[in-house]
Structure 1
């Protein structure tokens, strides 16, 4: 590691996070399950494959347009399971609460989690509560673990990605990151920006019907679409070319990014998937995805190329190409 101190950038989901994971955790915890480096662990229990994922939520503010930390914690866990090809079933929740936190706020968060679990078809089955002294936390932090069953016909791994495959994104990018930024900084736009925080279990069910035509799937949360594609390029040994004009983007998000000097491809999403599929099946998959309200803006945004292994290139509207690097630090810390 380039520094011997933990910085906020180490929580970005980008290059600094990858550096931390590889240099501290991966080398000391190495085992066949962890080494896959997926959105969760793929485990074998008898003849059954299950997915297990864990996540922690430290977002600020706790309530934002389109969601709150409770809703986010359930949906974020469900979507990680979906990205593993699993049917989400159970979620646990560990709450670290700061002394002095309001009971009314806690009740709202608990109710939001319950409603989100019902919507996503999962059950909150166990949990833990700890209280720390005032000033030792920022209101409330939530840690979750999710478990789901992986369908027999599903196998989502980066090493299944092949040259020629198509890259799909299931909706407009950057909405969550911009919504939280606007709430945090008191920004207002002509049309309010709302987080895309939503469960994607129905997207997972739809994609499972395509079996081996779906190669791999990731949810582009911290670090956004660009960072996820860089991770997949490194893990698969292939490269990607993404067309700027094909990326679904809300005009308000686009305008705000231009004004603020941000790139929507690096902004967090909490209700989208990046899906790599066989080229011949791409159009049919997109048409099916567009029938679901949560993926109605799905689009093919690029293709896998073996000529640029390990790289992600953006083809601009002028026909030029530029490298989309992995997010280095953090555009906006504590986004989830």
Structure 2
């Protein structure tokens, strides 16, 4: 019997990694499930097979947080849209109204734009309390005013009893991209550093515990907040920043997988460097949930040039929202299309896209 050499074992490991890398989400379902809205593999399969296939165009195919478009006059704009179905409508640290505004502002900001205008559409269930609707709208007005963004148009629809979960909010936003600013996956290269603007998992766990279905008593508040000031601080300190995304549905793990998809590099995250509040980590451990997949509403990932990483983190930490900012990983040349985590125990594991729907309706 021939002994397996170290080189053969390495070749087999690389072959397994290559097969893993080539796996692409495919739409195999006959009906839509909650998993299709969770931001992971099922969401990616639905978007690719149904929406991108139908609406295909160069701007859409970038699949960023916002589309970057150019006006006939040559101005570059970011244009984003989103829908919010948070349950419950109010939770520690915020409400569906706050998230509806912050989410759209953040999509524009991480696309390199300065947010300017928003729309707001409401689908309201018959019997919904006007007093609660006023509170939600007041939260939206407060959030928009704080961010210096105008809500300039909207729409209202009312549906029958039990045809919606109280209220759904749809927003769209437009922002102006300063001349010379460009962020794109194509700019990312081996040696770059991955910067996280703050702690992860706060929003998803706050919403989940606020439902009252779990006998867990933890002081966890949502991180919902606009990140445009943080983004501007980072770009001023690190003008060679390559790419940014806010880690909402699917969390940091899924966002990193979106970064490496079909690209000639890999992301390696360092578990000890990931900033996580102890109570969030404890709740995740009790529930068997990986915090890398828990949604955030006020944090973003940035890939920055290695020589600017320290300046980027220092700039973020000057802002209260960025006090826990850190370099949490790096871009490496091999294996292509893989996200890996260096664990606290000294090992390494692959971080795939979110599978299933562990935290439904969190944004």
Aligned counterparts of 1:134 and 1:191: Cα–Cα separation in 2: 34
- What is the alpha-carbon distance in structure 1 between the residues aligned to residue 360 and residue 178 of structure 2? 35
1:303 aligns with 2:308: no
Is 2:257 the counterpart of 1:194?
no
- Structure 1 contact 158–235 (Cα < 8 Å) conserved: no
SS at match of 1:242: strand
CA distance in 1, matches of 2:264, 2:361: 31
- Contact persistence 1:91–1:146 (CA under 8 A): yes
Query: Contact 1:154–1:211 at 8 Å: present in 2 too?
Result: no
Deviation (angstroms), 1:295? 1.1
Is 1:44 equivalent to 2:70 in the alignment?
yes
Which of 54, 60, 63 is matched with 1:34 structurally?
60
The number of residues matched between the two structures is 336
Cα separation, 1, equivalents of 2:165 and 2:148: 30
Alignment of 1:177-256 (within 5 A): 177-187=204-214, 191-210=218-237, 212-256=239-283
Match of 2:144 in 1: 117
Equivalences for 1:1-336 in 2 at 5 Å? 1-45=27-71, 46-187=73-214, 191-210=218-237, 212-336=239-363
Cα distance in 1, alignment partners of residues 142 and 69 from structure 2: 29
Rounded to whole Å, the distance in 2 between the matches of 1:207 and 1:87 is 14
Distance 1:92 1:188 in 2: 38
Q: Which runs of 4+ in 1 moved over 6 A?
A: none
Give 1 or 2 for the bigger CA radius of gyration.
2
Gaps of 5+ in 1: none
> CA separation in 2, counterparts of 1:317 and 1:288?
27
TM value normalised by structure 1? 0.98
Superposed CA deviations along residues 31-61 of structure 1, whole A, max 9, x for unmatched, are 1110111101101011210000000001100
Measure, in 2, the Cα distance between the counterparts of 1:216 and 1:232: 9
Residue pair 2:123, 2:167 contacting (<8 A) in 1 also? yes
Structure 2 residues without counterparts, runs of 5 or longer = 1-26
Counterparts of 2:218 and 2:357 in 1: how far apart (Å)?
A: 26
Alpha-carbon RMSD across the aligned residues, in angstroms, is 1.2
